[in-house]
């Protein structure tokens, strides 16, 4: 049978989980993660837009502008969204994900209606998941349950 590892009284009273990274590492990750995700998203959008053809200067510019916009919006979302009520918080994340997926899909040359339908489907799914997550992790006033 498995048993819990022994902990001293101070560790039990402190509670929570062990933090492996310093505050400085967490602050760096708040900027680095959206930038890396933005670069991946921009590369993906540029690749969809060129349809397998040669990489051009306009294609590179499109990819970098897309990456910049994605990273800025994601940083703003990570900064401002936790201050919102859980319902609005879930709606904002769902809208961001739905718009991002629909934009990528629209760059592949598909119809606007199919892109909008895919975006709405992703938005509905992300909203359900995020609302459940926020509903089970917060009390009625919006404070995180620890």
Model confidence pLDDT, tens digit, residues 48-94: 888 878 888 898 999 999 999 999 999 999 999 888 888 898 999 99
The mean per-residue pLDDT over the stretch 121-143 comes to 85
Task: Please state, in angstroms and as integers, the Cα–Cα distance from residue 15 to each residue in 9, 26, 142, following that order.
Answer: 10, 20, 21
The number of angstroms, rounded, from the C-alpha of 76 to the middle of its chain's C-alpha atoms is 11
Look at residue 146 in the predicted model and tell me its pLDDT. Answer: 62
Question: What is the C-alpha to C-alpha distance for residues 88 and 130, in angstroms, rounded to an integer?
Answer: 10
Q: What is the mean pLDDT of residues 127-131?
A: 93
Tell which residue, 92, 146, 84, 95, has the closest CA to residue 123.
Answer: 95
pLDDT at residue 68, rounded to an integer = 96
Confidence of residue 129 (pLDDT cuts 50, 70, 90): very high
Written as one string, the DSSP assignment of 75-111 is HHHHHHGGGS-HHHHHHHHHHHHHHHHHHHHHTTT--
| Per-residue confidence (pLDDT) for residue 86, from 0 to 100 | 83
What tens digit of pLDDT does each residue of 37-47 get?
Answer: 999 999 999 99
Rounded CA-CA distance 144/53 in Å is 49
- The per-residue pLDDT for 135 is 84
pTM exceeds cut of 0.85:
no
Domain boundaries of the chain, sorted by first residue: 23-83, 84-146
């Amino acid at each position: 049978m498995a048993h819990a590892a022994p902990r001293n009284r101070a560790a039990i009273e402190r509670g929570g989980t062990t933090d492996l990274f310093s505050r400085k590492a967490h602050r760096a990750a708040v900027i680095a993660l959206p930038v890396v995700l933005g670069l991946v998203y921009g590369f993906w959008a540029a690749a969809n837009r060129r349809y397998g053809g040669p990489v051009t200067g306009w294609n590179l510019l499109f990819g970098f502008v897309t990456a910049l916009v994605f990273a800025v919006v994601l940083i703003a979302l990570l900064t401002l969204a936790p201050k919102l009520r859980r319902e609005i918080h879930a709606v904002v994340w769902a809208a961001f994900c739905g718009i991002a997926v629909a934009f990528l899909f629209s760059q592949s040359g598909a119809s606007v209606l199919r892109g909008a339908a895919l975006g709405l489907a992703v938005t509905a799914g992300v909203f359900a998941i995020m609302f459940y997550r926020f509903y089970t992790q917060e009390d009625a006033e919006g404070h995180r349950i620890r």
